[in-house]
C-alpha cells in the first residue's frame, strides 16, 4: 500500500498546496467559503431561457457532415446522494421499454427535421443514469435500433458510462458481450470510492470488492477502461482517501478520473447532498481545506505512478488515451447532439436541452416535436467567452483554433488586463501558440476559467469574493 514516510510527505505537500490556494482566496479568486460550481457548460444550463424546438429552424448542419452523439438513459437501481441528474430508480421494466421506444422516435424526428438518413459521429457517449441498468434483451434492442441510425465510418471512440453493479454476475457478462458486439470501445466505471463506509454514505448499490471485480471484468473483455472517484464526500477523510487512491493506482489501469463533490447542482435537479452541512463530523461534508488536500494527494500519487493529466482531472499513463467525446465538445468544440431526457446538445453557435420531465418528454414526441424545452443562441460576446472558458478549463486555448471558432477574433487583443493579472499571479501562461493554465492554475481550473464568465453568469455574487486583484468581476470587458 503506502508507507508512513510516503504518507507524511504527501500530507506535507498537500498542506503547502493549500496555503497557495488560501492565498488565492485572499486575493479574490475563490469565494468566501471555498464552494465551487464546475465549469461544465457555458453559459450554465440552468440559465438557458425557455424555448422550444423551433429554435433549430435556422441551424446549419456541419459542412463535414459529422456530429458527436450523447444519449441519456435515466435509470438506476437506487439514488446516489451526490447525483444531480433526473432518473427513475428500481426495476421500472415497463417504463424502460417505453422510454427506449420514445428515444428511438426522438432520433427519427431529429433526422427527419434535417433530411438525414443517419448521423456520422466522431465519438459517442451513452450516459445516465446507468445505460447498463437496462436488461440484456432491451439493451441489445436499443443498441440495434441506435446502430441503424448511425454511420460509424468516422467514429473513433464509442463510450459507455456505467456502475460496477450493472456488469457483474451472469447478466453483467451478457451485457458486456452485447456492448462489445455493438462496437463499444471504452467504459467509464463510476467506482466513486473503495471504502465501504463511504460507499454506504453515498448510497451506492455495491461494495468495494464488487467495484474492483467490475474493473477486471471490463478489462477481460478488452475495453479501454476509465475509473472515477469522488473526493470531498461525507465520510471521506485525508487518511481513508489516501488509502483509496493507493488501491486505485495498483489496479491495472491506464486512466483514472477524480472529481470534487458537487453540492449545488449545475443542472435543474438538486441532489440530496445539499442537505448535509460542512463540518468535522463523520457524516458532514469535509471542509474546504481537507477537500483540496484530498485533491493534491490524489494528483501527486498518480503522477508518482506514471499518470499525466490529459484532460482536466483525468489522468492517464498514455497521453493518447482520453475521452474523445469530452475533447471534441469542450476543446475542439465540434457540434454534438444529445438525445433522451435532459439530453444536452452543443452546437457551434447554440445550445439546447431536452425536458427533465418524463411525461413532458413523451408528450412532445407524441406531438411530433423534438423534446427541447430550453435553448440559447450565442451573442457575439458570449460566443467569445465560451470559446475561451471551455478549452482553457479542459486543456488549453489554441490561438489559431480560437480565431476560427470565434469568428475571426485574435485572443491577444482580448481581456488584456484580466489575462495580465492571472499571468502575474502564476495561473495562466502564453506559449505563443496557445494560452494554458499553469500547474497552480490547473489545480483551481474552475475558478480561473470562471473569471472569463460574463457578470450575469458568474457562479457567486461579487460580495462572496474578497476585493482583491483576482476578484473575477474585475476587468471583465472583452475589449479593454
Model pLDDT, residue 275: 72
Of 131, 214, 140, nearest to 174 by C-alpha is: 140
Give the other-Cβ count within 10 Å of 174's Cβ: 16
pLDDT per residue as tens digits for the range 133-146: 999 999 999 999 99
60 CB-contact burial (10 Å; exposed 0-12 / middle 13-18 / buried 19+): exposed
Residue 339 bridge partners (DSSP): 71
CATH architecture of 45-331: Alpha-Beta Horseshoe (3.80)
Distance CA 382, CA 384 (A): 5
Give the other-Cβ count within 10 Å of 364's Cβ: 22
Name which residue leads in pLDDT, 39 or 410: 410
What backbone phi and psi angles, to 5 degrees, belong to 340?
Answer: 100, 175
Model pLDDT, residue 93: 95
In 232-342 the beta strands, taken as DSSP E runs, fall at: 255-260, 308-311, 314-316, 336-339
- Residue 316's alpha-carbon distances to 136, 256, 395, in angstroms, are 31, 6, 14
CA angle 350, 353, 354 (to 5 degrees): 140
For the cut 80, the answer to whether the pLDDT of residue 277 exceeds it is: no
For 77-108, b/e burial (b = at least 16 CB within 10 A) is bebbbbbbbbbbeeebeeebeebbebbbebbe
Distance CA 235, CA 238 (A): 10
Residue 363 in grid coordinates: 408528450
Model pLDDT, residue 268: 63
Decide whether 1-30+379-480 matches 45-331 in CATH topology. no
The DSSP bridge pattern shows strands 372-377 and 350-354 to be antiparallel
Q: Does domain 1-30+379-480 have CATH number 3.90.1150.10?
A: no
Ranges of H-type helices in 305-433: 324-326, 358-366, 380-394, 399-406, 416-424
Q: At what angle do helices 136-148 and 169-181 cross, to 10 degrees?
A: 10
Helix (H/G/I), strand (E/B), else coil: 296:
helix
Residue 469 in grid coordinates: 486583484
For the cut 90, the answer to whether the pLDDT of residue 269 exceeds it is: no
For the cut 90, the answer to whether the pLDDT of residue 283 exceeds it is: no
Model pLDDT, residue 413: 97
pLDDT per residue as tens digits for the range 378-428: 999 999 999 999 999 999 999 999 999 999 999 999 999 999 999 999 999
For the cut 70, the answer to whether the pLDDT of residue 460 exceeds it is: yes
Distance CA 344, CA 88 (A): 19
- Long-range contacts of range 248-253, CB-CB < 8 Å, 24 or more positions apart? 248/191, 248/194, 249/301, 249/302, 249/305, 249/307, 251/212, 251/215, 251/227, 252/219, 253/215, 253/225, 253/226, 253/227, 253/317
Average pLDDT over residues 94-104: 98
For the cut 80, the answer to whether the pLDDT of residue 302 exceeds it is: yes
Residue 477 in grid coordinates: 470587458
pLDDT per residue as tens digits for the range 170-203: 899 999 999 999 999 999 999 999 999 999 999 9
Model pLDDT, residue 170: 83
For the cut 90, the answer to whether the pLDDT of residue 84 exceeds it is: no
Model pLDDT, residue 272: 79
Confidence of residue 99 (pLDDT cuts 50, 70, 90): very high
- 8 Å CB contact between 343 and 353: yes
Distance CA 309, CA 323 (A): 12
Distance CA 229, CA 191 (A): 6
Confidence of residue 1 (pLDDT cuts 50, 70, 90): confident
Model pLDDT, residue 282: 75
Domain locations in the chain?
A: 1-30+379-480, 45-331
Average predicted confidence (pLDDT) for the chain: 95
Confidence of residue 433 (pLDDT cuts 50, 70, 90): very high
Residue percentage of the chain with pLDDT more than 70: 99
For the cut 70, the answer to whether the pLDDT of residue 210 exceeds it is: yes
For the cut 70, the answer to whether the pLDDT of residue 215 exceeds it is: yes
Confidence of residue 278 (pLDDT cuts 50, 70, 90): confident
How is the beta sheet containing 344-346 ordered, strand by strand?
308-311, 314-316, 255-260, 224-231, 186-192, 157-162, 123-128, 68-73, 336-339, 344-346, 350-354, 372-377
Helix (H/G/I), strand (E/B), else coil: 186:
strand
Q: What is the dihedral of CA 180, 185, 190, 194, to 10 degrees?
A: 90
Distance CA 334, CA 326 (A): 10
Model pLDDT, residue 169: 81
List the helix and strand counts (H, then E) for the chain.
15, 17
Average pLDDT over residues 240-268: 91
Ramachandran area for residue 92 (φ above 0: left; ψ -120 to 50: alpha; else beta): left
Amino acid at each position: 500500500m503506502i508507507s508512513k514516510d510516503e504518507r507524511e510527505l504527501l500530507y506535507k505537500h498537500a498542506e503547502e498546496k493549500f496555503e497557495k490556494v488560501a492565498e488565492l482566496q485572499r486575493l479574490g479568486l475563490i469565494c468566501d467559503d471555498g464552494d465551487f460550481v464546475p465549469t461544465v457548460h457555458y453559459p450554465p444550463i440552468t440559465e438557458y431561457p425557455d424555448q422550444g424546438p423551433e429554435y433549430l429552424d435556422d441551424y446549419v448542419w456541419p459542412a463535414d457532415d459529422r456530429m458527436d452523439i450523447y444519449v441519456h438513459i435515466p435509470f438506476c437501481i437506487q439514488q446516489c446522494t451526490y447525483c444531480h441528474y433526473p432518473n427513475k430508480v428500481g426495476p421500472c421494466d415497463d417504463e424502460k421499454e417505453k422510454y427506449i421506444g420514445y428515444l428511438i422516435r426522438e432520433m427519427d424526428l431529429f433526422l427527419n427535421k434535417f433530411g438525414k438518413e443517419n448521423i456520422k459521429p466522431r465519438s459517442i457517449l451513452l450516459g445516465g443514469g446507468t445505460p447498463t441498468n437496462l436488461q440484456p434483451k432491451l439493451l441489445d434492442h436499443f443498441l440495434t435500433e441506435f446502430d441503424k441510425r448511425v454511420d460509424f465510418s468516422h467514429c473513433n471512440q464509442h463510450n459507455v458510462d456505467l456502475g460496477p453493479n450493472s456488469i457483474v454476475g451472469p447478466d453483467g457478462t451478457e451485457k458486456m458481450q452485447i456492448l462489445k458486439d455493438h462496437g463499444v470501445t471504452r467504459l467509464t466505471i463510476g467506482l466513486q470510492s473503495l471504502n465501504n463506509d463511504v460507499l454506504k454514505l453515498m448510497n451506492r448499490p455495491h461494495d468495494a470488492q464488487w467495484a474492483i471485480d467490475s474493473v477486471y471484468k471490463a478489462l477481460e473483455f478488452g475495453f479501454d477502461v476509465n475509473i472515477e472517484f469522488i473526493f470531498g464526500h461525507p465520510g471521506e477523510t485525508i487518511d481513508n482517501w489516501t488509502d483509496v487512491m493507493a488501491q486505485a493506482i495498483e489496479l491495472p489501469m491506464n486512466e483514472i478520473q477524480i472529481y470534487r463533490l458537487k453540492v449545488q447542482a449545475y443542472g435543474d435537479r438538486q441532489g440530496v447532498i445539499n442537505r448535509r452541512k460542512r463540518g468535522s463530523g463523520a457524516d458532514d461534508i469535509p471542509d474546504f481545506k481537507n477537500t483540496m488536500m484530498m485533491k493534491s494527494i490524489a494528483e501527486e500519487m498518480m503522477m508518482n505512478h506514471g499518470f499525466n493529466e490529459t484532460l482536466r482531472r483525468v489522468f492517464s499513463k498514455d497521453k493518447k488515451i482520453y475521452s474523445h467525446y469530452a475533447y471534441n465538445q469542450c476543446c475542439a468544440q465540434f457540434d454534438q447532439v444529445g438525445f433522451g431526457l435532459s439530453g444536452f446538445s452543443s452546437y457551434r453557435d447554440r445550445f439546447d436541452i431536452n425536458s427533465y420531465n418524463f411525461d413532458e418528454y413523451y408528450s412532445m414526441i407524441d406531438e411530433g416535436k423534438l423534446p427541447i424545452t430550453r435553448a440559447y443562441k450565442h451573442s457575439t460576446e458570449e460566443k467569445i467567452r465560451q470559446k475561451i472558458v471551455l478549452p482553457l478549463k479542459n486543456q488549453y486555448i489554441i490561438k489559431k483554433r480560437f480565431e476560427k471558432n470565434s469568428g475571426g477574433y485574435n485572443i491577444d487583443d482580448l481581456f488584456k488586463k484580466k489575462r495580465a493579472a492571472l499571468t502575474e499571479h502564476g495561473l495562466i501562461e502564453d506559449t505563443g501558440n496557445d494560452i494554458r493554465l499553469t500547474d497552480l492554475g490547473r489545480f483551481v481550473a474552475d475558478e480561473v476559467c470562471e473569471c472569463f464568465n460574463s457578470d450575469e453568469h458568474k457562479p457567486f455574487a461579487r460580495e462572496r469574493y474578497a476585493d482583491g486583484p483576482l476578484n473575477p468581476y474585475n476587468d471583465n470587458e472583452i475589449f479593454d
